[in-house]
Amino acid sequence: MNFFNLHIDPLLLRFILTTALSLLIGLEQRIHHWNEPKETLFGTDRTFALLGLSGFVFDLLNEKVPGIHIAANAGLFFLLGIYYLQRTSIQKKFGATSIIAALITFNLAAVIHYYPVWLSVLLSVTVILLVEAKQELKAFSGRFDNREIVTLVKFLIISGVILPLLPDRIICDLIPVSPFKFWLAVVAVSGLSYSSYILKKFFFPQNGILFTSLLGGLYSSTATTIVLSKQAPKTNQHYRYAAGIVWSTVMMFLRIEILAFIFNPQVARRLMLIILVLILTGTMTGYIFWQKGIREQNSNNGIRYENKNPLEFKTALVFALLFVIFTALTRFFITHYGTAGLEVLAAVTGLTDIDPFILAIFTGHYSASTELLLKTTVIAFSANNLMKMIYVYIFGGKQLGKLVALSFIILIALALGMIYFSIGP
């Protein structure tokens, strides 16, 4: 084991680390059970330190007597089982947290021996946090119901089971999207919708929209716009949702500038002033909407919104189908017009996810001047904003659509106007 490249006997380091981590878990046990009668405790600092050292000894002996560490585990498990039965029958206490912590502590030495140091430290810290967070976890789990579990299982199935099983290869040239990419679009919208639901219900009931827009905008402002648009008509909080949609687009501007600095600093420097003006304008208009939304919420205090479809699965499918259609259109323009129609291609690409196209032009995929790349970038995200306006009208209704359109028209006009006066038509 290479521990910080110190020139100390590795065996001594394993001994010190085992003792320290075991004692730390034991100290937490003492603090956690401070008010309980001492005669009812399984053990605290000294007991857990000795358990860790016992595991260290049996791990050493296992090199000379293979299997003795497993036998020691079995013996410890048997003794702890007797203690648990006695505890439940006489004291009527059924918690097994200390017993499980004891088993982990006994095996810390083996983990330190065979795996990287960070794993044993992380394991110890996790044990301490889980034991200490008993009341917080109990309060949190009390807010779950059967529907929450079913929703979580559904999301895990579509993201953790179906998605990895789908092939990531294009089926035909006409539709240049693999089944994996199609389903990834479904997971993106469902995941953002579910994250929004979790943030609002469990963590930030007053500011769930804000966190959804900021975090979602870093990944996909288009998907975030669809998710927030679907939720807005059910809440009578159109101003706050309009603010969230605008702010998610502000995060898109920031993301584009960061990508430009990473892959094409020359374009980034030319783009910086435009992006800065758009970010300031979007932030300000979003703030105005948010302040109006606070008054709007106060006037609707009696209205409570409960999202009965946290995954928005049908909406996610619609978005994925549109993603496939517009990607096919992009392939068509590339095939028939190449770089000669780069501006038209940018407008078409803006109807869907612009990141792949933005990365392509920043990394030199298209041989073009800096001015043309700059103009193409602005056209792409302006077209994307126009498409998001349409999405808002489709999924959020006229009232939300008018608010968002007001802000997006200003952003589009500013972007195209600045690029026109900067480099000409």
The residue that leads in pLDDT, 86 or 337, is 86
Query: What does the pLDDT read at residue 238?
Result: 85
Closest listed residue to residue 380, CA positions, set 422, 416, 334, 408: 416
Query: What does the pLDDT read at residue 4?
Result: 47
pLDDT at 15 over 90: yes
pLDDT at 123 over 80: yes
| Position 8, amino acid | I
Token pair for 140: 């949190």
Query: What does the pLDDT read at residue 305?
Result: 46
Q: Determine contact, residues 275/253, Cβ cutoff 8 Å.
A: yes
Q: Determine contact, residues 395/226, Cβ cutoff 8 Å.
A: yes
The per-residue DSSP string of 238-263 comes to HHHHHHHHHHHHHHHHHHHHHHHHHH
Closest listed residue to residue 312, CA positions, set 160, 183, 151, 425: 151
The residue that leads in pLDDT, 26 or 37, is 26
Any idea which residue has 């001492």 for tokens? 38
Residue 416, SS3 per DSSP? helix
Mean pLDDT of all residues in the chain?
80
Q: Determine contact, residues 113/14, Cβ cutoff 8 Å.
A: yes
pLDDT band at 109 (very low <50, low <70, confident <90, very high): very high
Query: What does the pLDDT read at residue 212?
Result: 77
pLDDT in tens, 318-352: 777 777 776 676 667 666 665 556 777 777 777 76
Rounded Cα distance between 164 and 376, Å, is: 34
Q: How many CA atoms lie within 13 A of 129 on its CB side?
A: 6
Query: What does the pLDDT read at residue 368?
Result: 65
Closest listed residue to residue 290, CA positions, set 233, 225, 213, 231: 213
* Number of Cβ within a 10 Å radius of residue 300: 13
Phi, psi angle pair for 64, to nearest 5°? -95, -35
pLDDT at 380 over 80: yes
Q: What is the CA radius of gyration of the chain?
A: 29
Counting other chains too, the contacts that 153-159 makes at CB distance below 8 Å and 24 or more residues apart are 154/311, 154/313, 155/190, 155/191, 155/194, 155/311, 158/183, 158/186, 158/187, 158/190, 158/311, 158/313, 159/187, 159/190, 159/191
Rounded Cα distance between 421 and 326, Å, is: 30
Residue 168, SS3 per DSSP? coil
Token pair for 219: 């990944």
